Amino acid sequence: MEAQDKPEVAVPQTETKPLVKSFNGEGKNVILGITGTSGAIYGLRMLRALIKSDFNVDLVLTEFAHYTIYRECGVELKPGNVQNIFPEIMMRKSTVSFHNNLDLKSEIFMNWYNAFGMIVCPCSMDYVAGIANGDAKNLIEKSADWSFSYSKPLIVVPRETPINKIHLRNMGKIIEAGGRIVPAMPSFEYNPKDFNDLADFIAGKVLNLMMQSGTTPAV
Longest CA span, the chain: 82
Q: Which residues pair with 31 in a beta bridge?
A: 58, 118
Residue whose C-alpha is closest to residue 160's, from 66, 37, 33, 34: 37
Task: Write down how long the chain is.
Answer: 219
pLDDT (0 to 100) of residue 215: 61
Residues 158-216 have pLDDT tens digits of 999 999 999 999 999 999 999 999 999 999 988 899 999 999 999 999 999 999 987 64
Fold topology of 25-210: Rossmann fold (3.40.50)
Domain ranges (residues) in the chain? 25-210
